Structure 1
Amino acid sequence: MLQIDLWKRLLIWLTCVVGLVLALPNGFYTRVETHNDAMQAIELQGETPELLAQASGWPTWMPSSLVNLGLDLRGGAHLLAEVQVEDVYAARMEATWPEIRDALRPERATVGTIRLQPSAPNEIRVRIGEPSGMPRALEVVRDLAQPVPTLTGALATDLVVRGEEDVLIVTLSDEERAASDDRTVRQALEIIRRRIDEVGTREPTIQRQGADRILIQVPGIGSASELKEIIGTTAQLTFNPVVGRGTDPDATPGVGNKVVPSLDESGVYYTLEAAPVVTGEELVDAQPSFDQNGRPAVNFRFNPTGARKFGDYTAANIGNPFAIVLDNEVISAPVIQSHIPGGSGIITGNFTIEESTNLAVLLRAGALPAGLEFLEERTIGPELGQDSIDAGRIATIVAFAAVLIFMTLSYGMFGIFANIALILNIALIFGLLSLIGATLTLPGIAGIVLTVGMAVDANVLVFERIREELKSARGPARAIELGYEKALSAILDANITTFITAVILYAMGSGPVRGFAITLGLGILTSVFTAIFVTRLMIVMWFERRRPKTIEV
């Protein structure tokens, strides 16, 4: 017979109440959003009367999690960037040359002189004085190679070394290129995320697409060009020994050197050793500050490895200039006055306060390992986002009203129970979206509209089954009980297959597709819960109160 234990009833209603409470802040979106921003600012800056006034707009004891609005609803910037993974090959070869040189120097008696030859960006060519020593040179350089993990488990190394007469040629292996490409994109993805988080934007979408592309969507930002300024600079910081200084950009730098323009001095070019002493990857902190003359500057600090390199170099090169190079431009070339221990220093230049602050943010977040080429960029204005919200609201209201009317006309009192469950279903969806911090997009609204239509499907199956049982001269209680029992398998089958589809869409899709999949998947879970438990509980409570001899569905 119809019976639901008291603890089950309490648990069902408690779940509905929790869902309603979690969804409630979305009904006061602007007020709660202002409260959340003020609380975050108080944590960072401390309490001020203005921030406290903004924070008081919503009770602190109430939930304050909101459904984040996506790019197409709030407006913002959209970029699709391609990571120039080939840039890393040249940098890797530059960094490998000092290791090769230092490894071959003790073998001069066998291999003779060692001279770096002009080489392609992705290889190193070294001429040795004694061709007969080539086998030994190959053996020494191959010992520098490191193993590279592969999916097949096959043994592979990162360097391919071969000899042609008296020239030693070193290139990256195919396995290392593939691993390097993956590392480069992953690193670029993380650094882009850190840079965007530094400026306090809300709920950005930063995803990898394909092998070497990154999708960046930031709601609430002014324009795509503003977003490019935040993430587009590679901020490759290096400290290089200075070979010479001149005004000819086409001067021959010599093997192992490069010509770099000065950022502040127009028409001045520096010849630098290509292999840096220290790189920005060894920075652990960078903060905007002022130099001794009160001009904006940036203080920096290295990790222990970088500090040791920096200290050893300055101790051995007192009186010599060294260049601070940012994105292949010399921003400063001071003369080393004394040993600089501790691994800290200051970058000076003709900065404004804003430029020094942005440089500190870029350096603190880390250098992009490679350049970015922006294949697609769009700016979506907040007006268009509001239009999307209005259109989505109208579509949801129309679908909602149509379903409510249809269920009431088709199933009478039972249809009213289904409608109440449908309202709770929508509240539970928004409660779950708020709880997990999901982002609602325009396709996500489409998923909610679809859920509204699908939510009553389970109730329709149950009610039709109850009708069939009533035709078999069953009593009302038995007909209701059998209706739920026999419809359960069909409800689960239909919703499980749709849920699997939503999971696949989320796993394989990106951006708008994921937004649709999230609301569809959550909608299926809440629909099944409200149809199987909430509607049934309301019918049981009604039946226990009225004890009707006959019922009409």
Structure 2
Amino acid sequence: MMLKKSLKKPLLQRFKISYVAMFIALLLLAVSALPNLYPSKSWLNISIESQSQLIKNIPSQKSVIDFLNQHNFMVDQSTLGSKSDSSSINVLLQVPTKSAAAQRALKSEYPYFDVKIVTHQTSPAWLQQLGLEPIKLGLDLNGGVLFVLDVDLVKAQQEQLDSAYEQTKSIIRDEKARGVRVQKNEQGFELHALRSAKESLIGVQAQVLKRFQRLVATKQTQGSMTTVAFSFSEQGSSTFNKEVMSQTLTTLRGRIEELGITEALTQRQGKQRIRIELPGVQDPAEAKRIIGATASLDFYQLKESGGKTFDLQNGGTINLDPIVIFSGQHINNAHSGRDEWGKPLVQLSLDNQGGEAMSAFSKRNIGKPMATVYSEYYKNAQGEVVKKSEVINVANIAQHLSRQFSITNMQSPQAAQDLALLLRAGSLTAPVTIVQEQTIGPSLGAENITNGLAALMLGMGITLAFMAIWYRGLGLVANVALVLNLTALVGLMSLLPGVVLTLPGIAGLVLTIGMAVDTNVIIFERIKEERRKGRAPYQAIEQGYQQAFTTIFDANITTMITAIILFSIGYGPIKGFAITLALGLITSVFTGVYVSKALSQAVYLKLTSKTGAQA
């Protein structure tokens, strides 16, 4: 009697702190898992463009809802919102999967409406205030679109060489380098100079290498003629390709954000391909039109003689200085709007570098024209990627400009909106081609969720029943740990940014349950062995967990290495499976070893307490 009481007291003191720590960790993970009980809903956000406030007879909320109902887009509920520059209406359809079709219908009927599909959380306000959200669903569960884009790095390098060639011609003219001429070759371009023009050649070469640091110059002399060939160095080519891929990824992510898609996955795939997953996207055509666009904008000075010839948008040609005043990469912001005559325009805001270039140029050229050149890549009849550039605007500089000005005479409001979106997100320095496109409907995604969860529940139910029947008391401990493991895993996946649940991820959840049970089976069999040796229950539990830990640790480490490799080299669903598996290993060790050990010891202490009381 006295021995048991003295044993109980130090045990409780020893495990009190660990019990509290485990309880707090499990409680935090359980709270972070709660938002998954409240699925998000897709709403239509309808607002009036700020430039359209002067339009009379703007339809009311009731007329908009009536329009949707008449076109079989049955409205479930609607709310009014407010913005600083316009009123807005939020509409939830009875069938949210029709939101994209309703969006197109509203834009067609009311062209001055800004209609977006937004996701609203339905979880309690206190969870939202904590910043907790449900697990982000992947493409195969939420529906959406998959794009695989090929980035033409060869074309990007050729464009860089062409730009260097054009600027070299301007350098020769500006420096008045007589006896020096430039011409293209297969690798890039080259300078030819007579012996008498040696000093001029050195000066031109130095300026070219200063402007284009990725190029390397190779000098060769034959008789009285000296030739300097310019091409990409091996290191310069590699660095340029990395910069182009990085810039392309950044630009595409910016365009996706402009589309209002917050759960997209954009990552590099191989040497020159980019994989884009857009879960929840209901309008693939809109996403394809914006993401696949390769438009860029540059501003040039007119050149009366010489220079580079460009086509005018309305026909004819014009000569421009080949050196760009500034390009689209210096544009901070862009918005479509209308001028005082109601014609569409794009309002631009430049960064400091672009603003300084514009300020210096406009100050020197007040009263002179400046051209805006719009460029885009497309495939011709032969399947070759071709760059088309045309002048969309030529305007006289009426005053000293700085960081803000407008591009007028746009063809249509839609053209102005698209150009503004592309400029906000950034222009692409290399042509991109969509080589793979796959669309998964929301209904198929919902079916995948239902089937996946059914498989998870079936596997978990059979496992719980087996453990309860086979191991009885210890089996109940394992079942509690198993439920806590699943809760902790869901909470951890909800808590970590960038974690996306896919259909293979659900398979990872099922596998995690199996591994967690395997952990308990190893431990319980060791406990049985210790009990057969005649050890007391508490000692058998202590030795069972201690002896099994090394085996469990080794097995989980080898599986973790596999998960890390899959995550490193895999894409899409494979990466989703690897993430779920890796996180599941962490939670299964936590609950299967530490939590279940604490529960087993707590049960033993409870039993010894009752036995001692009876004694």
Q: Report the TM-score range of the alignment, normalised by the length of the smaller protein.
A: 0.7 to 0.9
Equivalent residue number for residue 465 of structure 1: 526
Decide whether the 8 Å contact of 1:141 with 1:161 is kept in 2.
Answer: no
Whole-Å Cα distance in 2 between the matches of residues 51 and 107 of structure 1?
62
- Percent identity for Structure 1 against Structure 2: 31
Alpha-carbon shift at residue 513 of structure 1 (Å): 1.4
Alpha-carbon shift at residue 309 of structure 1 (Å): 3.2
Decide whether the 8 Å contact of 2:504 with 2:574 is kept in 1.
Answer: yes
Alpha-carbon shift at residue 9 of structure 1 (Å): 1.0
The change in CA–CA distance for 1:49 and 1:237 in structure 2 (over 3 A counts) is closer
Equivalent residue number for residue 277 of structure 2: 217
Equivalent residue number for residue 419 of structure 2: 359
Alpha-carbon shift at residue 162 of structure 1 (Å): 3.0
Equivalent residue number for residue 292 of structure 1: 340
Whole-Å Cα distance in 2 between the matches of residues 510 and 314 of structure 1?
49
Whole-Å Cα distance in 1 between the matches of residues 496 and 86 of structure 2?
28
Whole-Å Cα distance in 2 between the matches of residues 23 and 46 of structure 1?
38
Structure 2 counterpart of 1:519, which letter?
T
Query: Which of 34, 37, 43 pairs up with 1:24?
Result: 34
Query: Which of 123, 126, 133 pairs up with 2:197?
Result: 133
Alpha-carbon shift at residue 52 of structure 1 (Å): 13
Query: Which of 121, 133, 155 pairs up with 1:87?
Result: 155
Whole-Å Cα distance in 1 between the matches of residues 82 and 216 of structure 2?
49
- For 1:183-262, what aligned pairs fall within 5 Å after superposition? 183-242=243-302, 256-262=307-313
Give unpaired runs (5+ residues) of structure 1: 35-40, 149-155, 245-253
Structure 1 counterpart of 2:143, which letter?
G
Decide whether the 8 Å contact of 1:73 with 1:441 is kept in 2.
Answer: yes
Deviations 1:520-553 (A, max 9, x none): 011111101111122122222221122288xxxx
Whole-Å Cα distance in 1 between the matches of residues 403 and 85 of structure 2?
32
Alpha-carbon shift at residue 310 of structure 1 (Å): 3.0
Query: Which of 10, 15, 26 pairs up with 2:25?
Result: 15
- For 1:152-171, what aligned pairs fall within 5 Å after superposition? 158-163=215-220, 165=225, 167-171=227-231
- For 1:60-459, what aligned pairs fall within 5 Å after superposition? 60-62=125-127, 63=130, 64-97=132-165, 100=168, 112-117=178-183, 119-120=184-185, 123-128=188-193, 130-134=194-198, 137-138=201-202, 141-142=205-206, 144-145=208-209, 158-163=215-220, 165=225, 167-242=227-302, 256-262=307-313, 265=314, 267-318=315-366, 320-327=368-375, 328-330=388-390, 332-437=392-497, 438-459=499-520
Whole-Å Cα distance in 1 between the matches of residues 442 and 452 of structure 2?
15
Decide whether the 8 Å contact of 2:526 with 2:544 is kept in 1.
Answer: yes
Alpha-carbon shift at residue 140 of structure 1 (Å): 5.0
CA RMSD after TM alignment: 3.3
Structure 1 counterpart of 2:188, which letter?
E
Alpha-carbon shift at residue 159 of structure 1 (Å): 2.3
Whole-Å Cα distance in 2 between the matches of residues 339 and 116 of structure 1?
37
Deviations 1:200-235 (A, max 9, x none): 113101000111110001111125432221211122
Alpha-carbon shift at residue 260 of structure 1 (Å): 2.5
Query: Which of 579, 589, 597 pairs up with 1:518?
Result: 579
Structure 2 counterpart of 1:259, which letter?
F
Decide whether the 8 Å contact of 1:90 with 1:122 is kept in 2.
Answer: no
For structure 1, which segment, 208-217 or 470-479, has the greater mean C-alpha deviation from structure 2 after superposition? 470-479
Decide whether the 8 Å contact of 1:505 with 1:513 is kept in 2.
Answer: yes
Whole-Å Cα distance in 2 between the matches of residues 351 and 178 of structure 1?
40
Whole-Å Cα distance in 1 between the matches of residues 187 and 281 of structure 2?
38
TM-score by length of 1: 0.85
The change in CA–CA distance for 1:259 and 1:332 in structure 2 (over 3 A counts) is closer
The higher-RCO structure (CA 8 Å, 6+ apart) is: 1
Equivalent residue number for residue 5 of structure 1: 15
Q: Give the strand-richer structure, 1 or 2.
A: 2
Equivalent residue number for residue 37 of structure 1: none
Decide whether the 8 Å contact of 2:359 with 2:403 is kept in 1.
Answer: yes
Structure 1 counterpart of 2:540, which letter?
A
TM-score by length of 2: 0.77
Equivalent position SS for 2:347: strand
The change in CA–CA distance for 1:45 and 1:467 in structure 2 (over 3 A counts) is farther
The change in CA–CA distance for 1:304 and 1:12 in structure 2 (over 3 A counts) is closer
The change in CA–CA distance for 1:380 and 1:271 in structure 2 (over 3 A counts) is farther
Alpha-carbon shift at residue 269 of structure 1 (Å): 4.0
The change in CA–CA distance for 1:57 and 1:307 in structure 2 (over 3 A counts) is closer
The alignment covers a number of residue pairs equal to: 521
Decide whether the 8 Å contact of 1:224 with 1:378 is kept in 2.
Answer: no
Equivalent residue number for residue 64 of structure 2: none
Whole-Å Cα distance in 2 between the matches of residues 319 and 122 of structure 1?
41
Decide whether the 8 Å contact of 2:370 with 2:395 is kept in 1.
Answer: yes
Decide whether the 8 Å contact of 1:77 with 1:224 is kept in 2.
Answer: yes
The change in CA–CA distance for 1:468 and 1:227 in structure 2 (over 3 A counts) is same
Equivalent position SS for 2:396: coil
Structure 2 counterpart of 1:406, which letter?
F
Equivalent position SS for 2:148: strand
